[in-house]
Chain A
């Protein structure tokens, strides 16, 4: 039993705050040699922050940090690396234009006495390492030509075989297919036998229970539970993650919410058998006028790709789209806009002009409706003023550069640009991400108003609260496939998490 040995890594009373907001509050954490330790918790619960402290990414915190029983303080990720700690971050960080072998040996290429890279040796060793992992690729092929899941596996392989004693995996399975996940788990178990300690973060609770020895649950920056995997269940973990009783400020959606009768109104969008390489598999659904369709799933489940296809940014490999019964293939975003589709993406940087005034940001999508050739700035400002008032954008100055507004208000501006001439279908990605409660409620009310006006609305989110607070019908995406539809039935955060 690992508990009998002394921990390889021990953290005591770790507190970390970002600009006055506490991300971690007095967290204790211990990792034993030859242990796989699973971490679960909602977005923003503090898992990633803790791991970044361990990996030397965050160096400012209070509390004790011990390795092999000796107090340590890392000044950089390099220090952590030297101490045998390696991390695979949530976002893919590979060099797509280099070969597979170069990626496996990134920053660590074997060289001869002259300092020249030993290509043959590198290719051979990379091939051997990957073969141990069950990956059969030509080590000299370009990494970017491989499917995303394979790229992710290769990145994981690089870290796993770097000789680190402690390996941290942050959401490693989001882009992997079930057999790839199995292969990853087999490798993790083998490394555990060899004495490596592994921290495994995932939203997929079954995966955590399947592979880890110990599970720790985080909520709101605190460690709320720790248990042996064999002694707990998925239900118990979800309960610990969400917390019974709920938070005072917000509706916590722990209780069942009754979804209404499915709408029988006109079908605005019909999606049939949509597929996109490894991101989406045979997605079919309908969005109806006056209905909010929620699409929930974990990060990397294919939501982002789906939203981009609906707005003509990505072309699907297979499948059809029809708007109001007419088949459409969107060659560009302009074509999608003309067909009556509007998209508000999750990234504010991508969707707004930060160096331009608010009114130009609001009028950009409707300029062709208000001016044939010459601009009508007075009219643009009037329209913008109405939207600013209606959406309560602060400060209510339409001539101000957008960059001067706070994040929540920028998000409202992004919504505002579609509202003067409402589209037939509005696609919202993470519409309330990073907003405070007041701004969130504003957005919820705006969406309800639009639904009342007869728009078809699709809300895609990785936050169950967002989907639950808005949707009339909920689809659950899991690894690119539609796995569950909730309609006219009770639904709760537990049920959503359970399905995903």
Chain B
């Protein structure tokens, strides 16, 4: 045994380094507890079972979209087209459904199952375009998905032409706005997708590759991984999750129209990042995203309960997001220091 190896063995891990390395998981959780306690104290109507149901329903669409986005951010990429793809997929599924006679859209009514399949193919195709732009041409994901955001919005505009559609296939109506023994289907779908995302990331080979590519892309390449394939796959996963979120969202809101999902871009990114998934890739996961979803959900819902200036709400959300970003970057630095 050589002299330099002896030294490394003596380095042991204490509690402090452990806590430092877990900062990104602990901080969002403390934020959630703090916010919940604050609103429970400030408003008697907040901490009720009914309201918990409200919060769950309110975060469901964001949750479905955030599953795919978590994959993307774990790879140290970004997808800005999620809300637009959700919108165009929701509009597409309505476009392929027979509308009431007063809806003035020249649409193509098809059987429900076909409409759903075509819509999913559409969002997958848009995701594939993102993937090809990122991996084959080499456009940074930030710019590529910015273009896709506009393209998807453009397709949406062409499909509805300023009109509003209301009907979607019955399966989508049920999943988006129905409930089973008191639990909204949309919450169940979101829970299943989050669970599925977690299982894929934690227990499959592909999930491991996502973490490794995000942790050190160069090393992943030197290990002989097909980095481009993995990056392409996460872009498609993100688009399909967005599409599902969009279809259920349309059913949930009861209408399909232009710019319906605009707020979901920021909300989804915020949920992933507030939860503690590293913007530099390789750290975090669906567990973090769930905590992030609850932080945002509690915040949005709680601010309604405490009778606050609704314009101030926007500012407060922005400040919370900024705080989360600071913690995110800081936690990364702490971890790097501990690892050295």
Contact = CB atoms under 8 A, between A and B. Distances in A.
A401 interface: yes
B339 A406 contact: no
Given A401-B339, A408-B5, A336 B283 contact: no
Interface in A101-116: none
Nearest to A332: B226
B224 interface: yes
Given A360-B212, A364-B223, A442 B2 contact: yes
B252 to A, nearest CB: 33
A406 B7 contact: yes
A404 B339 CA distance: 6
Nearest to B2: A438
A394 B9 contact: yes
Interface stretch (B118-126, B188-196, B201-209): B201-209
A146 to B, nearest CB: 22
Contacts of A343: 222
Interface in A337-357: 337-338, 342-343, 345, 349-356
Interface string B206-218: 0111011001101
B224 A367 contact: no
B1 A375 contact: no
Interface in B1-33: 1-9, 11, 13
A352 B219 contact: yes
Contacts of B8: 394-395, 404-406, 409
A412 B203 CA distance: 27
Interface in A402-439: 403-409, 417, 435-439
Interface string A363-400: 01101100111110000000000000000111100000
B212 A406 contact: no
Given A333-B221, A345-B222, A355-B335, A375 B208 contact: yes
A355 B222 contact: no
Nearest to B211: A356
B4 A313 contact: no
B212 A353 contact: yes
B339 A354 contact: yes
B216 A353 contact: yes
A365 B223 contact: yes
A99 to B, nearest CB: 24
B317 interface: no
Nearest to A412: B5
A360 B208 contact: yes
B1 A392 contact: yes
B221 A313 contact: yes
B208 A407 contact: no
B34 to A, nearest CB: 28
A478 to B, nearest CB: 27
B279 to A, nearest CB: 15
A237 to B, nearest CB: 32
Contacts, number: 119
A373 B223 contact: no
Contacts of B1: 392, 394, 438
Nearest to B206: A373
B278 to A, nearest CB: 10
B196 to A, nearest CB: 14
A435 to B, nearest CB: 8
Contacts of A364: 208, 212, 220, 223, 225
A145 to B, nearest CB: 18
B224 A334 contact: yes
A417 B225 CA distance: 13
Contacts of B309: none
Given A406-B8, A409-B5, A436-B4, A350 B219 contact: yes
Contacts of B215: 353, 355-356
Contacts of B2: 408, 435-439, 442
Contacts of A311: 222, 224
A228 B22 CA distance: 62
Contact of A354 (B13, B205, B216): B216
- Central interface residue in B219, B221, B222, B225, by most chain A CB within 10 Å: B222
Contact of A351 (B3, B4, B219, B340): B219
B5 A406 contact: yes
Contacts of A332: 226, 228
Contacts of A394: 1, 5-6, 8-9
A333 B222 contact: yes
Contacts of B282: 353, 355-356
Given A371-B205, A374-B204, A439 B4 contact: yes
A432 to B, nearest CB: 12
A407 B226 contact: no
A439 B4 CA distance: 8
Contact of B225 (A334, A342, A373): A334
Interface string B53-72: 00000000000000000000
A250 to B, nearest CB: 13
B219 A375 contact: no
A373 B204 contact: yes
- Central interface residue in B5, B282, B283, B340, by most chain A CB within 10 Å: B5
Contacts of A360: 208, 212
Contacts of B336: 355
Contacts of A337: 223-224
A350 B335 CA distance: 18
B223 A417 contact: yes
A9 B221 CA distance: 48
Contacts of A349: 218
Contacts of A365: 223-224
Contact of B222 (A338, A350, A354, A401): A350
A401 B207 CA distance: 19
Contacts of A439: 2, 4-5
Nearest to A339: B224
Contacts of A374: 203-205
A350 B215 CA distance: 11
Contacts of B7: 406
A403 B340 contact: yes
Contact of B339 (A350, A355, A417, A438): A355
B68 to A, nearest CB: 19
Given A355-B283, A439-B2, A395 B9 contact: yes
Contact of A334 (B219, B226, B283): B226
Nearest to B226: A334
A392 to B, nearest CB: 7
30 contacts: A311-B222, A311-B224, A313-B221, A332-B228, A334-B225, A336-B224, A337-B224, A338-B224, A342-B224, A352-B219, A353-B212, A353-B282, A354-B216, A355-B283, A356-B282, A360-B212, A364-B220, A364-B223, A365-B223, A367-B209, A371-B205, A374-B204, A392-B1, A401-B339, A404-B8, A404-B13, A406-B8, A435-B4, A436-B2, A439-B2
Question: What are the nearest 6 A-B pairs in CB distance?
Answer: A438-B2, A337-B224, A403-B339, A394-B5, A334-B226, A395-B9
Interface of A: 311, 313, 332-334, 336-338, 342-343, 345, 349-356, 360, 364-365, 367-368, 371-375, 392-395, 401, 403-409, 417, 435-439, 442
